[in-house]
Amino acid sequence: MAKALRVEAARAPGAEGEDLACRYLEKLGYRVLHRNFRCRTGEVDVVARAPDTTTVFVEVKDRHGRSHGAGYEAVTFGKRQRLVRAARLYAARAGLTESRLRFDVVSIDRSGGSPVIRHDAGAFDSEGA
For residue range 34-81, list pLDDT tens digits in order. 999 999 989 999 999 999 999 999 999 987 766 666 667 788 899 999
User: CATH no. for residue 56?
Assistant: 3.40.1350.10
**Residue 46 in domain:** yes
pLDDT of residue 57: 97
* Number of compact structural domains in the chain: 1
- Domain span including residue 75: 15-123
How is the beta sheet containing 55-63 ordered, strand by strand?
A: 31-39, 42-49, 55-63, 101-109, 116-124
**Residue 9 in domain:** no
3-state percent helix, strand, coil for the chain, nearest multiple of 5: 25, 35, 40
Hey, what amino acid is at 122?
A: G
**Residue 80 in domain:** yes
pLDDT of residue 126: 85
**Residue 33 pLDDT exceeds 50:** yes
pLDDT of residue 102: 95
**Residue 87 pLDDT exceeds 80:** yes
**Residue 24 in domain:** yes
